[in-house]
Structure 1
Amino acid sequence: MSYKTILAVLQDKTDAERVLDCALPLGSRFSSHVIAVHSEAIPIPYVSPMGFPDTNFMAISSKTNQQHSEELKTIFETRAQREGLSFEWHALESVSGDSAVGALIVARACDLVIVQQVNPDASGGSRANVEALLFDSGRPVLIVPFATPVDTRFRKVLIAWNGTQQAARAVFDALPFIREADETEILTLDAVDTGQEDGALAGVDIAAALARHGAKVTFSPASSGELGVGAAIERQIASSKAELLVMGAYSQSWLKEIFFGGTTRTVMRSMPVATLMAR
């Protein structure tokens, strides 16, 4: 297995360089075809005080959007040509102008999707809906931190393992990284005995499966204590010096997440390292 088609989601110039810093080296490493997608908002019809459509305003908005898209296209194509990659550019228009939402159809035909983590300080138009990619694309999403540099060699991988379908999907979608890593650590938190498995043995089967693929696997059972699962994962990232986190993407009812939070959203907000999620 390899990533032969990689999708880079470019929302704005503020995230384009960081996403391409990840996508293009990986494209070279896996001899991939790299697709970049950017979406601009369709200009909203503006009505003058006299009640007539302001065609001049719409023309200016459309021209501005086109210039912005062309700037991103130039950045992408210049860098992709420099890397000697096979590549293509997709410029889209939508009501929201959200490149992540616009990229969904393209994403479903790709091996790996790369997008930047949402920067809470960025303007609304500079934020891509990363959750739409996670929950609607059906493809693994590699999320790049907005504030932390990424070394795409990913020498140390940390797997947050809980035995669920989502975790299994993420692990096997991350196999190209896991097989090349110097070490892959499997973290199990708060594992308990069940009718099917002894809590003390949680994660043993997936460790054995990865070892058969040539992965260099270590095993770390732990307790989250009072930290909560998300914070415990972050603690393990810091102590293990992991460069890539692999975990399933989970969703709960919106009411439950308001009161109790959600591990997926906790990790997506803090994100100390690049994170591959799948669902």
Structure 2
Amino acid sequence: MKNATFLALQGPNGKAEDLAAVAEKAQAVGGRLNVLHLGPVPILAYSLTPHPYGVPVIPDTWVEKRNAMGRNLEEHQKKSRAYLQAQGLSGEVGTISVEPAAFHDLVALHSIFADVCVVQDSLRENKNTFDNVVYGLLFEGPGPVILNAEKNPKALSPENVFVAWNSSLPAIRAVRAALPLLKEAKEVTLACFDADPSRYADGQSPGSDIATWLSHHGVNLTVQEYATGHESVGDAIMTRAKETTADLVVMGAYGRSRWNEKFFGGTTEKMIAQRDLPLLIAH
């Protein structure tokens, strides 16, 4: 990850100290750290005056909340700039204050020239904002996205990585994105859950092809096959990752339709919602 550019995304109550792990990694690789402070504002519900042309009236309370959020973000922006300067890091610090649904495209634009996007826990305070930020980074940006990095000091320089492998295109993209971290790790577990040995699925030796490719890159890995049994795949991933004391889980996101998972549940939604294990995902 030499000279990598990191993008850290914070909620309105995020603190400069929360950037410590990302800043340390950026310093270690001679990289840059961009910070984006995101503040959601209420959906604007305006009324029309009793006039032939219906002039819209914007409530004073909405304006007050919008201005208060803007002031809050500006204050955090100053603190983040001072923090980066104190750490000797270069990077840009920006703010975005819009309705939650509008974050989708805006964060994607900021992620275009970032090598890794780190979504910080402070964004989870508003689920709508968090969901739109993660979806925007995954579907409109180049990725990858790292969640829950604050939960483990080794998350951005993992010694033990757990790769949830299922031969899908998102999984391949996630592994490729994580390759610099996998090469640095002391141990990598390539986990196949309920593998399908058929020719058009995982083959007779699930994970063998990707394992050969990774080994050629110098990754020290072990291939493991697991049966989920009575657990869902998401629960099985968390169980096995904890058993291997993984510092980071790597997996593809939304192998099925995003809306299908949103309404009916699925592995990606479960893993994004969990807050215990650091997670690197790509679509």
- Taking structure 1 as the reference length, the TM-score comes to 0.84
| 1:117 Cα offset (Å) | 5.2
Q: 1:124 to 1:180 in 2, by over 3 A?
A: closer
Q: Is the 8 A contact 2:162 2:241 kept in 1?
A: yes
Structure 2 unaligned segments of length 5 or more: list them. Answer: none
Letter in 1 for 2:23: L
Determine the structure 2 residue equivalent to 1:134. Answer: 138
Secondary structure in structure 2 of the residue aligned to 1:86: coil
> Which residue, out of 217, 240, 243, partners 2:244?
240
* Greater mean deviation of Cα atoms: 180-189 or 65-74: 65-74
Q: What root-mean-square deviation, in Å, do the aligned CA atoms of Structure 1 and Structure 2 show?
A: 3.2
* 2:13 pairs with 1:13: yes
* Structure-1 residue corresponding to 2:26: 27
**CA offsets 1:111-133 (integer angstroms, 9 cap, x no match):** 1111035876x356874622232
CA contact (8 A) 2:167 2:201 kept: no
Contact 1:252/1:262 (CA < 8 Å) preserved in 2?
no
Residue-by-residue CA offset, 1:69-98 (whole Å, 9 max, x unaligned):
122213322222222111111223434386
Question: In the alignment, residue 13 of structure 2 is paired with which amino acid?
Answer: K
Alignment coverage as a number of residue pairs: 275
Give CA-to-partner distance per residue, 1:117-152, whole Å, 9 cap, x none.
Answer: 5876x3568746222322222311011267x34423
What secondary structure, in the 3-state scheme, does the structure 1 residue paired with 2:36 have?
A: strand
Structure 1 counterpart of 2:33, which letter?
V
Q: Does 1:215 align with 2:219?
A: yes
Q: 1:268 to 1:253 in 2, by over 3 A?
A: closer
Gaps of 5+ in 1: none
% identity of equivalent residues: 27
Deviation at 1:67, TM superposition (A): 2.0
**In 2, are the aligned partners of 1:98 and 1:127 still within 8 Å (CA)?**
no
- Other-structure match for 2:228: 224
The superposition leaves residues 157-200 of structure 1 with CA deviations (integer Å, 9 ceiling, x where unpaired) of 01001111111100010011111111111001111222257744
* CA deviations over 1:26-66 (Å, ceiling 9, x no partner): 21122112111124456858779999957976764454223
Contact preservation (8 Å) 1:150, 1:274: no
Which amino acid in structure 1 is aligned with residue 22 of structure 2?
A
- What secondary structure, in the 3-state scheme, does the structure 2 residue paired with 1:103 have? helix
**How high is the TM-score relative to the length of structure 2?**
0.83
The one-character-per-residue Cα deviations of 1:211-259 (angstroms, maximum 9, x if unpaired) are: 2212111111111112121111011111100010000001436356544
Cα distance between partner residues in 1 of 2:196 and 2:232: 16
> Counterpart of 2:96?
92
Q: Which residue of 1 aligns with 2:191?
A: 187
Partner SS for 1:168: helix
1:254 counterpart residue number: 259
Distance 1:141-1:72 versus aligned 2 partners, 3 A rule = same
Determine the structure 2 residue equivalent to 1:177: 181
Give deviations 1:244-279, integer Å, cap 9, x for gaps: 0000001436356544x2100111112421110001
Matched, 1:36 2:41: no
The 5-angstrom pairing of residues 49-88 of structure 1 reads 60-88=64-92
